[in-house]
Chains A and B, each alone.
Chain A
Amino acid sequence: MNTFLYIIKRILNAIPILFIVSLISFFLIRLSPIDPLAQMKLNPAISQETIDKETKRLALDKPIYIQYFRWAKNFISGNMGYCIDNIKVTTKLKPRILNTLLLSLSVISLSWIISIIAGVLGAVYYNSVYDKILSILTSAGMAIPSFFFAILMLLFAQKTGLFPIGGLTNVHFSQMNLFSKILDILWHLALPVFVLTTISLSSITRQMRANMLDVLDCEYIKFAIAKGLSKRKIIFKHALRNAINPIITMLGFEFAGLLSGAALTEYVFQYPGLGKLLLDAVMQSDINLIMAGLMIGTIMLIIGNLLADILLKLTDPRVGI
């Protein structure tokens, strides 16, 4: 019951945040000197009717606060308007959201598994050769710009021919059977996932190592050692459980960083994700798409944070709101 109340409270907390974000994103873009329909008006393929409909939908002839409420109402009901190439925003967004989720989730799960193991080992074998190599590697991983790393990986893919250069699917994708379709996607995912994992891995590993060192220094661990428990039991049953909590809090931040880092990586690899879509939209000043993309990104982030908090509540009942 307690947990349930906590979740409800957290969701209620997210509502004002979403409201403020919508205000920020709406007024930022609307107050900029870009005419939201300029691109549409220039496109001869778009009829005057569509433009009139958009003008009415966005209430462009009315004062700005009415425009905001109209936009917010439309957004909540799922009507996000049209892109400059006359495709519905929602049709464009849907596959992109899935692709970005696919990328981020595989990165998060991979980097978590690796970094928890690597971090624990780093703490257990503190100051050993392994620990030193680990700290060098993680510092390097934190310092390399994601897009630069992605470029180097592209170079690697080109020189060896082991991996495809960019995109998510092969040209013959539609003719493949299910199994080779999955293989094809995994093959295309490999490099972007590798780049993003290396980068997010580094900070989590460092954090994990530091937490583990803190916990291993606690009295109850010393007691467990004195009691004669096996090393494995001490580490996995007693130390790890306590050391992992701050990492769960980091999950939310990681997700935020991932969405940002992914935008550049997606751009370099030409991966059809949300970040790439938003970038393209920004380059073409496609207002509807920008606002929708920004809001969806924010919602994804808030949900990510929410999930992290709930997970933390489940593992550590002491957490209050």
Chain B
Amino acid sequence: MKFSEFYKKIKKDKVSHTALIVLILLYISILFADFFAVHPNNFSNRKLAYCPPSNIYILDKNNKFKKPYTYNYTKTFNKDTLNIEYKQDRTKKYNIKFLSKGYEYKILGLIKCNLHLIVPDKGCELFLLGTDINGCDVYSRLFFGGQVSLTIGFLALLISFPIGAIYGGISGYLGGITDKVLMRIAEAIMSIPSFYLLIILASILPSNLTSKQSFALITAILAFIGWAGFSRVIRGMVLSIKNQDYIKAIETIGASKKRIIIKHILPQTSSYIIIALTLSVPSYILAESGLSFLGLGIQLPEASWGNMLREAQEFANIIYRPRLLMPGFLIFIAVLSFNVLGDKIRDILDPKSLK
């Protein structure tokens, strides 16, 4: 099926078209995270922990329209209530510019750039969604966190799917004892409650890893959990494919087993693989967020939606600072879009299930 034809079918269905657009927007925003972010990834101002969101004004005292401006917050300690209070410092006004030059960054780590969507005046502490316990800007971290949360699933799939497909292909095609042994191993991995295995694997990682190393290892762990179930389904499909005439014909010609499995059998399962790919991205996103939420996944200072939600473990935060729950809604939206789109892709590629 041609891609344009495929897209037309998705476009017809309003819901899945919306899901596709939402996903594209999400991925654009993480691709150009620095462009949308106000503060760089490693920004943190420990003196301004749990600073409330900045208010942005467009009317001045005489109710006349002005360029958008904001005020900084100053932290004071209230001796009577023993609370830390944030008060707006109304003495100095800071203008906010759009599409202007800010701190320098590299798009995809390659192209140097310093263009930003929102740039406050120098000295302005603009926190659109406030700060977290470390004084990091929550709004900016949403973008950087998305970079991790939305890509880790895809990367894990890139590892687990080829392994699962080849494993299932070998098992189904060779049959006999090999099949029995290989499938028992896969079943064993499936029999371990996946989240238990996940936390145990994550916990035995050494603690002195750099953020890139731990990202890679978490990806590998997610992939390790996911391949078994997938390989079983592939094996089932291979069992029915291998009895078809064209495979018999290729065997008679004398093609090697490796060639038959990779070149002739597995491509037949491609539509299932595409469906399973889109439908399993969400489970990886959820697994990563759960893991990071527990503090076993992506470690601070690196941001991910899961570890940003760690703040929500503090009960006071849920009640007084519900804005810190924002990453949870983003996970929800991303997963929902993937599910809706996956269902639609299944309907298109597998008309039998279309009702």
- Give A residues with C-beta under 8 Å from B: 16-18, 20-21, 24-25, 28-29, 32-34, 126, 139-140, 142-148, 151-152, 154-155, 158-159, 165, 210, 213-214, 256, 259-261, 263-264, 267-268, 275, 278-279, 282-283, 285, 290, 293-294, 297-298, 301-302, 305
Contact = CB atoms under 8 A, between A and B. Distances in A.
A16 B225 CA distance: 19
Nearest to A264: B290
State the majority secondary structure of interface residues on A.
helix
Contact of B188 (A24, A29, A142): A24
Contacts of A33: 204, 206
Given A29-B204, A155-B319, A140 B336 contact: yes
What 3 pairs between A and B have smallest CB-CB spacing? Answer: A260-B195, A32-B204, A20-B188
A297 B193 contact: yes
B310 to A, nearest CB: 10
Interface stretch (B73-81, B99-107, B264-272, B325-333): B325-333
Given A21-B191, A139-B339, A139-B340, A158 B331 contact: no
A66 B208 CA distance: 31
A78 to B, nearest CB: 21
Given A148-B309, A155-B319, A21 B332 contact: no
A158 B315 CA distance: 10
B47 interface: no
Contact of B318 (A143, A145, A155): A155
Interface string B186-221: 011111111111111101101000000000000000
A148 B201 contact: no
A29 B196 contact: no
Contacts of A298: 191-193
Nearest to B197: A294
Contacts of B339: 139, 142-143
A187 to B, nearest CB: 20
Given A17-B188, A20-B185, A282-B296, A143 B335 contact: yes
A259 B195 contact: yes
Given A143-B333, A260-B198, 20 more contacts: A17-B184, A21-B188, A28-B200, A34-B204, A126-B355, A143-B335, A146-B286, A148-B289, A151-B312, A151-B318, A154-B315, A210-B353, A264-B195, A275-B195, A278-B196, A283-B203, A285-B203, A294-B200, A297-B192, A297-B196
B102 to A, nearest CB: 32
Interface in B335-355: 335-336, 339-340, 353, 355
B294 interface: yes
A20 B228 CA distance: 14
Contacts of B312: 148, 151
Interface string B291-322: 00110100000000000010011010011001
A145 B328 contact: yes
A126 B355 CA distance: 10
State the majority secondary structure of interface residues on B.
helix
Given A20-B185, A260-B195, A301-B192, A282 B200 contact: yes
Interface string B84-114: 0000000000000000000000000000000
B282 interface: yes
24 contacts: A17-B184, A17-B188, A33-B204, A139-B340, A142-B339, A143-B332, A144-B332, A145-B328, A145-B331, A147-B293, A148-B309, A151-B309, A152-B328, A155-B319, A155-B322, A214-B355, A259-B195, A263-B193, A263-B195, A294-B200, A297-B193, A298-B192, A301-B192, A302-B191
Given A21-B191, A143-B336, A264-B290, A293 B328 contact: no
Contacts of A159: 319
Contacts of A285: 203
Contacts of B193: 256, 259-260, 263, 297-298, 301
A142 B190 CA distance: 21
Given A143-B282, A145-B286, A155-B319, A21 B192 contact: yes
B183 to A, nearest CB: 10
A158 B317 CA distance: 12
Report, as a range, how many residues of chain B touch the other chain.
35 or more
A260 B194 contact: yes
Nearest to A154: B318
B196 A275 contact: yes
Nearest to A148: B328
A152 B319 CA distance: 10
B26 to A, nearest CB: 14
A151 B316 CA distance: 12
Give the residue among B188, B196, B206, B328 with the most A Cβ atoms within 10 A.
B196
Contacts of B296: 282
B293 A260 contact: no
Contacts of A297: 192-193, 196
A99 to B, nearest CB: 16
A110 to B, nearest CB: 20
Contacts of A213: 355
Nearest to B317: A151
Given A20-B185, A148-B332, A158 B195 contact: no
A25 B191 CA distance: 12
A29 B199 CA distance: 12
A20 B184 contact: yes
B194 A256 contact: yes
Interface string B61-81: 000000000000000000000
A131 to B, nearest CB: 11
Interface string B276-291: 0000001000100110
Contacts of A151: 309, 312, 318, 325, 328
B191 A301 contact: yes
